[in-house]
Structure 1
Amino acid sequence: MSTNARRAGWVITVLVTLFLAFDAITHLLRVDAVMDFNDKVGAPAWFPVVCGAVLGLSLIAYHLPSTRAMGTVLITAYLGGAVTVNLVFGQPAFNTVFAIAVAVLVWAGAWPRDERLRALVAA
């Protein structure tokens, strides 16, 4: 991959990381908006904390070179769960499209920076 592609990957990664870290923190801190949605879908009160921890740990894995591929897949799976919840509970289409777009950006950020990730998909 070219240097420009790697730089673009880093820019995308930083932007995606800022958003996902914010999301993880709001879940861990159980902010009102998170808890309101949690109540709306009928999830147990502990659920946002687990979601925040899973996302936070996946995000850390995404940034470590040795676990980047696994972190990329785990974040994609997490966002797949968000898509499912949005569809099942009739959330606005934007919410579903946004979760899919973030998953695509997670891959777009990692792809040019990780030869093993490219090999995993090409295999």
Structure 2
Amino acid sequence: MSITAQRAGWVITALVTLFLAFDVVTHVLRVEAAMDFNDMIGAPGWFPVVCGAVLGLCLVAYHVPSTRAMATILITAYLGGAVTVNLVFAQPAFNTVFAIVTAALVWAGAWPRDERLRALVTA
């Protein structure tokens, strides 16, 4: 990959990381909006904290070169769960599209920077 593509990957990764880190914090700290949604879907009170911890660990792994490929897949799976919850609970379409776009950006950030990830998909 070209140096320009790698730099673009880093920029995308930085932006996605900021958003996902914010999401981690809102879940782990049990911010009111996260807890209100949790109550709406009928999940137990501990659920947002576990979701935040899982996403946080995946986000850290996303920045470690040796675990980036697996983390990219796991974050995509996590966001797939968000899409499912949004669809099942009839949330606004924007919420679903936002989760899908975020997953695509996770891949867009990792793709130019990780040859193993590209090999995994193109093999």
* Bin of the TM-score, shorter chain as denominator length: over 0.9
What code does the residue aligned with 1:99 have? A
Unaligned runs of 5+ in 1: none
- Structure 2's unaligned 5+ residue stretches are none
TM-score normalised per structure 2? 1.00
Aligned counterpart, 2:83: 83
Matches within 5 A, 1:63-102: 63-102=63-102
Separation of aligned partners in 1, 2:59 and 2:70: 10
- Which residue number in structure 1 is paired with residue 116 of structure 2? 116
Aligned to 1:36: 36
**Letter paired with 1:92:** P
Q: d(CA) in 1 for partners of 2:75 and 2:33?
A: 22
Aligned residues: 123
**Alpha-carbon separation, structure 2, partners of 1:58 and 1:121:** 19
Q: Which residue of 1 aligns with 2:10?
A: 10
Separation in 2, partners of 1:64, 1:71: 9
Where 1:43 maps in the other structure, the secondary structure is coil
Question: Over aligned residues, Cα RMSD in angstroms?
Answer: 0.3
Name the SS for the 1:19 alignment partner: helix
SS state at 2:7 partner = helix
Q: Distance in 2 between matches of 1:15 and 1:54?
A: 19
Shift of 1:39: 0.1
